[in-house]
Amino acid sequence: MTDSGKDPVEQAWHRVEERWDEPEAHQAFIAFCATVDRLDEAGRYYGDVRDNVPSRRAQAEDQIDRLLAHAMSALKVAGTDLNRLENARRWVALVGMVTATLLLAAALIAMLQSG
């Protein structure tokens, strides 16, 4: 299989392995995996290194910690968005109930005046 046929995360991982001692390589890899929503795969790659390459274990553990921090940060952002959505739903429900109440009151008043 040619490089063009490889998975992009796998290709990015190979670049990390070639530049292992460069922090920028790890940062770029984690950012890329976050962008394509594949942080779990990045974790597996670093986990394999941690478990199988003793000379790189400490660095792999550091990168796993960075991955976890990145994932937690993303969850906080998603949670904030969900809270905003829930607040918007509450406002829409309140406006709907007020509107329905006003329409019902107007209909009752119209019925009483016509009768």
Q: Which amino acid makes up residue 37?
A: D
Q: In this structure, is residue 96 part of a structural domain?
A: no
Q: In this structure, is residue 22 part of a structural domain?
A: yes
More confident residue, 79 or 71: 71
Residue 12: left if φ>0, alpha if ψ -120 to 50, beta else—which one?
A: alpha
Please report the pLDDT score of residue 18 as a whole number: 97
Q: Note whether 30 and 70 are within 8 A (CB).
A: yes
Q: In this structure, is residue 9 part of a structural domain?
A: yes
Q: In this structure, is residue 77 part of a structural domain?
A: yes
* Integer Cα distance of 110 and 102 in angstroms: 12
Give the mean pLDDT of 40-49: 96
Q: In this structure, is residue 11 part of a structural domain?
A: yes
**Domain range spanning residue 52?**
3-84
What pLDDT, in 10s, does the model give residues 49-62? 999 999 999 999 99
* Integer Cα distance of 31 and 111 in angstroms: 65
Q: What percent of the chain has pLDDT over 70?
A: 90
Q: In this structure, is residue 14 part of a structural domain?
A: yes
Q: Is 37 helix (H, G, I), strand (E, B) or coil?
A: coil
Q: In this structure, is residue 105 part of a structural domain?
A: no
Query: Does the pTM exceed 0.75?
Result: no
* Integer Cα distance of 19 and 77 in angstroms: 31
Domain total of the chain: 1
Please report the pLDDT score of residue 1 as a whole number: 45
